[in-house]
Amino acid sequence: MSQDGKGARTLKTRVKTAKGRKLSSTLWLQRQLNDPYVQKAKREGYRSRAAFKLAEIDDARRFLVPGARVVDLGCAPGGWLQVAVKRVNALGEKSGKPRGFVLGADIQPTEPVNGADILLLDFLEEGADDAVKVALGGGADVVLSDMAAPSSGHRATDHLRIVALCEAAAHFSFDVLAPGGTFVAKVLQGGAENQLLALLKRRFRSVAHVKPPASRKDSAEMYVVASGFRAEETYA
């Protein structure tokens, strides 16, 4: 039992290991039940705790501005779409502010998100970039990717897989971003991302790593934020 900052008492939920359930699964469930971001997501109507990661990254870098056209790759379950809709004013709720547009893309069906369009689309397939630009009515101002490859349980292998996925998302962003646009993607710390960072530095004015508070401290995940897209590759 613990005390929060206001003197209210909170109980930590403990989960018993059921017959046939692995200890790792029990610990994961217990962590989920006691995660303040999971609880906050439920209270505020977000579909995942990951929504707060995007909100915190944007608080630091300010790219989801009213009027922006946003593409979210691998958008399911939709938490990032929910954040983007609010911040770019996709519903037109901010009087006097330009109205943005939010487009999600995923290979699996995603429940509709009010204010966002969603394409059932594999961004790796030929013609996917054209389909996105048609849906947007032009180039994107922001391309987001919170995608992660399925875990193999081997950290080095998982690191290489997620870097490869991030590189693919980066190349996709080169095809759909308008000049000056921003690319945001999840990576894992581990050293294999040097080639990715070199690529991004040739195509964007600024490249930075961000680890938002909502990202668990024991997680190797970080986010790369590349801003100021150059339509032509440079080698400076």
Task: Report the alpha-carbon distance of residue 109 to residue 127 in Å, rounded.
Answer: 19
pLDDT at 25: 47
Angle at which helices 194-203 and 155-176 cross, to 10°: 10
Residue 176 exposed, middle or buried by CB count within 10 Å (0-12, 13-18, 19+):
buried
- Evaluate whether residue 24 is within a structural domain: no
- Evaluate whether residue 9 is within a structural domain: no
Mean pLDDT split into 10-residue runs, the chain, 236 residues: 39 49 46 66 83 96 98 97 98 96 97 97 96 96 89 71 91 98 89 83 96 85 95 72
Query: Judging by DSSP bridges, how do beta strands 9-10 and 2-3 pair with one another?
Result: antiparallel
pTM value is 0.83
12 is a catalytic site residue: no
pLDDT at 1: 32
Angle at which helices 36-44 and 23-34 cross, to 10°: 50
pLDDT at 36: 74
pLDDT at 31: 53
- Evaluate whether residue 206 is within a structural domain: yes
Specify whether the CB–CB gap between 110 and 75 falls below 8 A: yes
pLDDT at 26: 46
- Evaluate whether residue 87 is within a structural domain: yes
* Pair of tokens at residue 190: 């581990």
Which is catalytic among the residues 53, 86, 133, 186?
A: 186
- Evaluate whether residue 96 is within a structural domain: yes
Largest distance between two CA atoms of the chain: 60
- Evaluate whether residue 27 is within a structural domain: no
Nearest Cα neighbor of 68 from 121, 142, 125 is 142
Number of domains in the chain: 1
Bridge partner list, 120: 106
Please give the residue range of the domain that contains residue 174.
47-229
pLDDT at 194: 84
| Alpha-carbon distance values, 90 to 84, 102, 146, 194 (Å) | 8, 7, 20, 35
CATH label of the domain that carries residue 220: 3.40.50.150
pLDDT at 35: 64
- Evaluate whether residue 36 is within a structural domain: no
